[in-house]
């Protein structure tokens, strides 16, 4: 087994958790699950497969994940971040087994590719593959950005490498669940877009760079996206994904994916942002009070 522990956040993930853990057991038995009050069989399944499970009240993803880093019971050289609806391909498990222990001390992070599967179809186009994510890093050398959305692992020092194989993001829930989840995501996305303008919190973030790593480039492009006119940018983004980046090659299921995730969701974010300005104006303090009153959130 490799000198690595994996941190997973869960809430009612009984459809996914066994698949995720079994893929990880190919290279480590040190799995730490931070659950936020699941009412299904998530905890029982995780414990039956040898995972260490603790409970912690949910605030945000970043706060929950950093809690997991701090409370991780395993003293390992490497940490890994996984979502419960993801799994490691057998090829990536072998690569981790054979390459990880041979990395130099100066290499503090490892990027892997994420493969999105929607309605059992691999979404290969529209700029969605490969998506490079920093998912493995040396213990004590990184932390999760405390953002509301699109949180990345920020390294304090060292260099990174890329592994060749994939993590698969394959959620098994239905489309109603997916749209409800993205409705909640839209609120978090609004907070992040507002934070670009109002700087609600002075926190450590991945530096935006057009020619940096993929997460740095994504942060740079998000800043540029935020500067585009409200309600225009979702259509521009969808056009770019579906036509310029050849999303139409993903067929009918791809059309559903790119239309919902690339247009509907982005339009919903803009609509919610418009509502904030409509109800609260553009004063920083009134915006904070709006979120406290409407969502019970401080930003």
Spatial CA neighbour of 8 closest among 69, 96, 49: 69
Domains in the chain: how many in total? 2
Do 119 and 196 fall into the same domain? Answer: no
116 phi, psi to nearest 5 deg: -90, 130
Q: Containing H/E element for 7? A: strand 4-10
The residue range of the domain holding 122 is: 4-170
Do 21 and 113 fall into the same domain? Answer: yes
Do 146 and 266 fall into the same domain? Answer: no
Spatial CA neighbour of 143 closest among 69, 214, 193: 69
Residue 191: its pLDDT value, please?
A: 87
Question: Cis omega (within 30 of 0) on the bond before 59?
Answer: no
CA 201 from centre of chain: 20
pLDDT tens readout for residues 156-173: 999 999 999 999 999 999
Select from 127, 146, 170 the last residue of a domain: 170
pLDDT tens readout for residues 168-226: 999 999 999 999 999 999 998 998 888 888 877 656 566 677 777 766 777 777 788 88
- The predicted model scores a pTM of 0.90
Do 142 and 27 fall into the same domain? Answer: yes
pLDDT tens readout for residues 11-53: 999 999 999 999 999 999 999 999 999 999 999 999 999 999 9
Do 241 and 191 fall into the same domain? Answer: yes
Structure tokens at 122: 């691999």
Select from 170, 187, 219 the last residue of a domain: 170
Do 88 and 111 fall into the same domain? Answer: yes
């Amino acid at each position: 087994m490799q000198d690595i522990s994996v941190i997973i956040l869960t809430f009612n993930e009984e459809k996914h958790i066994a698949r995720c853990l079994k893929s990880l057991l190919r290279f480590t038995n040190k799995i730490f699950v931070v659950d936020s009050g699941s009412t299904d069989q998530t905890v029982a399944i995780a414990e039956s497969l040898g995972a260490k499970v603790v409970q912690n009240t949910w605030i945000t993803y970043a706060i929950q994940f950093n809690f997991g880093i701090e409370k991780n019971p395993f003293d390992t050289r490497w940490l890994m971040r996984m979502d419960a609806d993801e799994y490691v391909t057998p090829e990536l498990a072998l690569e981790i087994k054979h390459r990880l222990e041979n990395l130099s001390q100066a290499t503090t992070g490892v990027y892997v590719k994420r493969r999105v599967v929607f309605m059992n179809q691999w979404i290969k186009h529209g700029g969605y593959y490969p998506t490079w994510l920093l998912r493995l890093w040396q213990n004590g050398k990184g932390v999760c950005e405390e953002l509301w959305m699109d949180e990345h692992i920020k390294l304090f020092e060292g260099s990174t490498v890329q592994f060749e194989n994939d993590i698969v993001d394959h959620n098994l829930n239905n489309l109603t669940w997916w749209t409800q989840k993205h409705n909640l995501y839209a609120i978090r996305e609004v907070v992040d877009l507002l934070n670009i303008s109002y700087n609600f919190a002075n926190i450590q973030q991945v530096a935006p760079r057009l020619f940096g790593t993929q997460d740095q480039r994504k942060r740079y492009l998000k800043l540029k996206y935020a500067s585009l006119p409200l309600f225009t940018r979702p259509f521009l983004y969808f056009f770019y994904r579906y036509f310029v980046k050849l999303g139409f090659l993903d067929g009918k299921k791809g059309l559903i994916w790119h239309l919902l995730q690339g247009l509907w969701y982005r339009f919903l974010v803009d609509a919610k942002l418009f509502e904030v300005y409509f109800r609260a104006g553009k004063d920083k303090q009134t915006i904070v009070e709006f979120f406290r009153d409407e969502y019970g959130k401080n930003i």
